[in-house]
């Protein structure tokens, strides 16, 4: 009887141990969740993160805070999440740079995206706009290419950073059409746009949120949308593909995404995916997307991963072509 009692006690203990993770997961969340944002305060991504955090907190009935960790092209914040405890309480709310671009831009990246992160959802897409100063004699992309070809080697283009989408896409246009345009890199989008408005540089690729007031004033002219669809706020401006530029590079877009450390329990990831996708469709986030000229996404984790994998070879080609890879 003593032996039988021992086995019953042992089985009970084992059952309690095996059930513990499930009980812990069922109680998720039971404490504050931190969204690590690899960007400084006050920018568009920061605004989105804080609205998202508030909405997520309401749904999960817990506090959700934003932890700004800029630096290293976003890699510092991303690395912190990659090393975090995979319990669903530390998440990465990020722009595309440290996830989509860093693996191809830098020889030393302190994480492996495929190995160290769980994909949850892409929050929104950020289609870009190719714009020119009002004095550039071009009303569409074919006219711009013809003008740049006539001034080969003399046309500058701006970007909001070496290796940024703004840089890589303009470099591809120059290289593929043999325009020999000269890259002028800036530390951020705002100074680039100011120089475009002032005529110091004639052209560049930027976000609609930053370009919009200058397009509306007539100081800048939008020639093309980079992405698969026109923008609702620029319905008259065709995409690159609509203008005959069918390179897959011109369908590449950035955006904002949500990730977690690898090995986060599936049940927690599923809950975060469900709540996040519903938040994206809500009025609070929709209003912000419209204000910043962003496209609504909220896709599944599987779709997110598929987008990541399909974009990789294109980004790698752009980085190699542009010479933007750094040691």
Is 63 in the same domain as 77? Answer: yes
Is 206 in the same domain as 132? Answer: yes
Is 208 in the same domain as 139? Answer: yes
Output the CA torsion sign for 138, 215, 287, 40: positive
Q: What is the CA radius of gyration of the chain?
A: 23
CB–CB of 102/74 below 8 Å?
yes
Is 121 in the same domain as 267? Answer: yes
The C-alpha atoms of residue 96 and residue 104 are separated, in whole angstroms, by: 12
Is 148 in the same domain as 163? Answer: yes
Is 162 in the same domain as 223? Answer: yes
pLDDT attached to residue 21: 44
In a domain, 152, yes or no: yes
Is 219 in the same domain as 268? Answer: no
pLDDT attached to residue 327: 59
Domain end: 231, 251, 271, which one? 251
Is 245 in the same domain as 204? Answer: yes
Neighbours of 292 (CB within 10 A): 21
Residues contacting 206, CB < 8 A, separation 6+: 128, 129, 131, 160, 166, 189, 192, 193, 196
pLDDT tens profile 9-49:
444 444 444 444 444 446 899 999 999 999 988 888 999 99
Is 275 in the same domain as 219? Answer: no
pLDDT attached to residue 11: 41
State CA 100 to chain mean position distance: 8
Neighbours of 92 (CB within 10 A): 28
Range of the domain at 50: 31-126+253-322
Stretches where the chain sits below pLDDT 70 are: 1-26, 327
pLDDT attached to residue 200: 96
Distances, alpha carbon 276 to alpha carbons 64, 93, 190, 280, in Å:
13, 11, 30, 6
pLDDT attached to residue 26: 65
Q: Which two tokens stand for residue 117?
A: 């992160």
In a domain, 106, yes or no: yes
Is 35 in the same domain as 122? Answer: yes
Domain count, the chain: 2
pLDDT attached to residue 299: 96
In a domain, 117, yes or no: yes
In a domain, 138, yes or no: yes
The C-alpha atoms of residue 271 and residue 252 are separated, in whole angstroms, by: 29
pLDDT attached to residue 24: 47
Q: What is the CATH number of the domain that holds 171?
A: 3.40.190.10
In a domain, 183, yes or no: yes
Q: What is the CATH number of the domain that holds 269?
A: 3.40.190.150
Distances, alpha carbon 107 to alpha carbons 77, 168, 259, in Å:
18, 17, 23
In a domain, 15, yes or no: no
Is 262 in the same domain as 309? Answer: yes
In a domain, 143, yes or no: yes
pLDDT attached to residue 23: 40
CB–CB of 38/77 below 8 Å?
yes
Is 81 in the same domain as 42? Answer: yes
């Amino acid at each position: 009887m003593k032996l039988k009692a021992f086995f019953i006690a042992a089985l009970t203990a084992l059952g309690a141990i095996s059930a513990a993770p499930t009980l812990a997961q069922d109680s998720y969340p039971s404490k504050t969740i931190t969204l690590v944002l690899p960007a400084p305060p006050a920018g568009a991504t920061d605004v989105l993160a804080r609205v998202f955090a508030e909405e997520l907190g309401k749904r999960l009935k817990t506090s959700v805070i934003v932890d700004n960790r800029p630096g290293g092209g976003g890699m510092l914040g991303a690395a912190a999440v990659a090393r975090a405890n995979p319990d669903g309480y530390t998440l990465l709310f990020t722009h595309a740079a440290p996830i989509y671009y860093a693996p191809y831009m830098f020889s030393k990246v302190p994480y492996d995206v495929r190995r160290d992160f769980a994909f949850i959802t892409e929050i929104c897409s950020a289609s870009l706009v190719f714009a020119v100063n009002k004095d550039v004699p071009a009303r569409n992309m074919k006219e711009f290419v013809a003008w740049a070809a006539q001034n080969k080697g003399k046309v500058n283009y701006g970007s909001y950073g070496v290796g940024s989408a703004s840089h890589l896409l303009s470099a591809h246009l120059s290289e593929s059409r043999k325009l020999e345009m000269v890259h002028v890199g800036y530390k951020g989008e705002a100074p680039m746009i100011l120089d475009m408005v002032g005529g110091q540089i004639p052209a560049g690729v930027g976000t609609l949120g930053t370009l919009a007031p200058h397009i509306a004033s007539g100081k800048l002219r939008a020639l093309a949308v980079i992405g698969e669809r026109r923008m609702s706020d620029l319905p008259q401006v065709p995409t690159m593909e609509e203008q005959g530029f069918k390179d897959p590079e011109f369908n590449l877009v950035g955006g904002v995404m949500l990730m977690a450390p690898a090995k986060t329990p599936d049940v927690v990831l599923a809950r975060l995916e469900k709540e996040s996708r519903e938040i994206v469709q809500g009025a609070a986030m929709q209003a912000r997307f419209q204000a910043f000229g962003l496209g609504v996404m909220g896709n599944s984790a599987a779709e997110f991963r598929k987008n990541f994998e399909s974009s990789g070879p294109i980004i790698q080609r752009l980085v190699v072509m542009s010479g933007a890879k750094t040691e």
